[in-house]
Amino acid sequence: MSKTERVTIPFESLDPLTIGSCDDPSMVYREQIEIDIPSDNLVAVIEPDEPASLPNVTEAAAQALENPQSGPRFSEMIGPDKSLAIIIDNQFRPTPASKILPAIFDAIEKHGVKDARVVCANGKVFTMSESDTEKKLGKENMARMERLGIPFFQNEPREEDMYVFKGVTSRGTPVWLHKEVANSDVKLSVGQTQSNHWGAGGGGKLILPGVVSDETIESNHCAFVMSPDTHYGSYAGPMRADIDDAATMCELTATLNSVINTRGGVSYMNFGRHPDAHLESLKIFNDIYAYERPAGPLADIAICGVFAPTDHLFFHTGWGCMSSDLVLKDGATIIYCSPSPGVNTHLGNFPGLALMDLMKPYMPPTPENMERVYRDIHARKIEMWAGCIWVPIYEVMTRKKLHVVTLEENLEMAADIGIEASTSLESALADAFTEHGKDAKVVVLPYARYQMPRDAIVMPGH
């Protein structure tokens, strides 16, 4: 009998709001799948060496605000004569705003800021409900906002009267900015730093798509999502570069950036001038989660896991399809382990594969159907606020085979869309070996959504 290695794959699904507002790590429920892989076939199990979580996020935020990576201290930016916009990310990001805001509000009170507001960077995603808002902001912070006269706004990009035109980026994106942000002297973004298939999240991304109009979002996304130079690690790629150009045009003053580890804790935080501080935080993220490409030829099979700070929907957990693509040969199989139990919202119940059904009219994934997708993006028949996720996954599916290991409740919808799915990692791997042969090489990316080969990173000036 050939030697095997037992590998553990995270199979988690706690929603980001719970992570961001939870003070008791024992309440974060985690599942995992174990599987034995023949040693001769296993190329690598790539695990990040993660630092510990910061013990007190509020204290870390307070320290960061007064110890900038670049530019002036937060206390030097604000005062009675300066209006302030605090831009936070939405319910689908695990940034613990409820623990960060107290440090900002302390500074507001100490330095006599009289004109401040909190704005949620929803982009084109539906607004947070009252209960979502309570979790994201925290009850005590909401009471404090009421006492201090700090209103709360959410981005509603189709409300034209709420936006002011700021100009056109160097890459041709017209920018309409939310008035509450545009009219503020100091603009602070509070977000999560991560590499992703658009280059990177956080920082200026809280401006675009966060607090801009529908036209701005679609113009940027339609033009740049599918560029070959927009990929995991491509901070200098056209999409991320356009985002930061827009943020500069909109006079984003500073960013407060958090790196969220796979356990849901904040492992690093910094503050400073846009875009410098965010760029520095991204370097920290990449130092942790980027890896040296395994030696030898590209693998035949990738097994990807899902960790708690992602989401209940495959639409959000599945971004690792684009990162695993970078270490697989064409024709390879991606086995993506994502429970995706779905989510209940004030707008209704979303099943685990919600929004992935937008690819159904273009199935099966073929080069010919990919051409149809490109035409429909150009014709604005595809809204790229959602297409920015499902279209890149679809494009990978034209070159790779995707098999989703998920909960049984998702199998019917997967079959209806045309996505191969099952409840068994063991059977999925056996099928992949049948397809690729007994000598097929396997790479395991337990935290695929965060991980990428180091040689994919393209930073400004490189």
Instruction: State pLDDT tens for residues 269-324.
Output: 999 999 999 999 999 999 999 999 999 999 999 999 999 766 789 999 999 999 99
Judge if 357 and 325 occupy the same domain: yes
Comparing 23 with 105, the larger pLDDT belongs to: 105
Judge if 333 and 235 occupy the same domain: no
Closest CA to 272 of 188, 376, 339, 183: 188
Name, in order, each residue with C-beta under 8 angstroms of 415's C-beta and a sequence gap of 6 or more.
Answer: 421
Judge if 312 and 232 occupy the same domain: no
| Angstrom distance (rounded) from CA 303 to CA 9 | 8
| Angstrom distance (rounded) from CA 260 to CA 331 | 33
Asked if residue 87 is part of any domain, the answer here is yes
Asked if residue 305 is part of any domain, the answer here is yes
Asked if residue 461 is part of any domain, the answer here is no
Asked if residue 52 is part of any domain, the answer here is no
Asked if residue 358 is part of any domain, the answer here is yes
Residue 185 exposed, middle or buried by CB count within 10 Å (0-12, 13-18, 19+): middle
Asked if residue 51 is part of any domain, the answer here is no
Residue 127 above 70 pLDDT?
yes
Mean per-residue pLDDT, 48-72: 98
For residue 233, what are the domain limits?
A: 57-287
Judge if 110 and 177 occupy the same domain: yes
Overall number of domains in the chain: 2
Comparing 461 with 127, the larger pLDDT belongs to: 127
pLDDT at 27: 46
Strands 290-291 and 452-453: parallel
Residue 373 in tokens: 């997708």
Judge if 206 and 263 occupy the same domain: yes
Asked if residue 30 is part of any domain, the answer here is yes
Judge if 400 and 437 occupy the same domain: yes
Percent of the chain with pLDDT over 90: 90
Strands 401-405 and 420-422: parallel
**DSSP code at position 128:** P
Judge if 416 and 326 occupy the same domain: yes
Rg of the chain over CA atoms, in angstroms? 22
Judge if 146 and 163 occupy the same domain: yes
Judge if 319 and 277 occupy the same domain: no
Judge if 302 and 448 occupy the same domain: yes
Among 253, 287, 321, give the residue marking a domain's end.
Answer: 287
**DSSP code at position 170:** T
Among 287, 305, 330, give the residue marking a domain's end.
Answer: 287
pLDDT at 2: 82
CATH code, domain with 277: 3.40.50.11440
Mean per-residue pLDDT, 347-354: 90
Judge if 159 and 257 occupy the same domain: yes
Residue 76 above 60 pLDDT?
yes
pLDDT tens column, 309-320? 667 899 999 999
Mean pLDDT of the chain: 95
Mean per-residue pLDDT, 245-268: 97
Name, in order, each residue with C-beta under 8 angstroms of 185's C-beta and a sequence gap of 6 or more.
Answer: 82, 83, 84
| Angstrom distance (rounded) from CA 181 to CA 315 | 29
CATH code, domain with 336: 3.90.226.30
Judge if 270 and 329 occupy the same domain: no
* Inter-CA distances, 58 with 76, 100, 104, 255, 336, Å: 20, 5, 9, 16, 35
pLDDT at 22: 53
Angle of the 214-224 helix axis to the 384-397 helix axis, nearest 10: 20
End-to-end distance of the chain based on CA atoms, in angstroms? 49
pLDDT at 19: 56
| Angstrom distance (rounded) from CA 45 to CA 35 | 12
Among 254, 270, 287, give the residue marking a domain's end.
Answer: 287
pLDDT at 25: 55
Asked if residue 308 is part of any domain, the answer here is yes
Name, in order, each residue with C-beta under 8 angstroms of 179's C-beta and a sequence gap of 6 or more.
Answer: 162, 163, 164
pLDDT at 277: 99
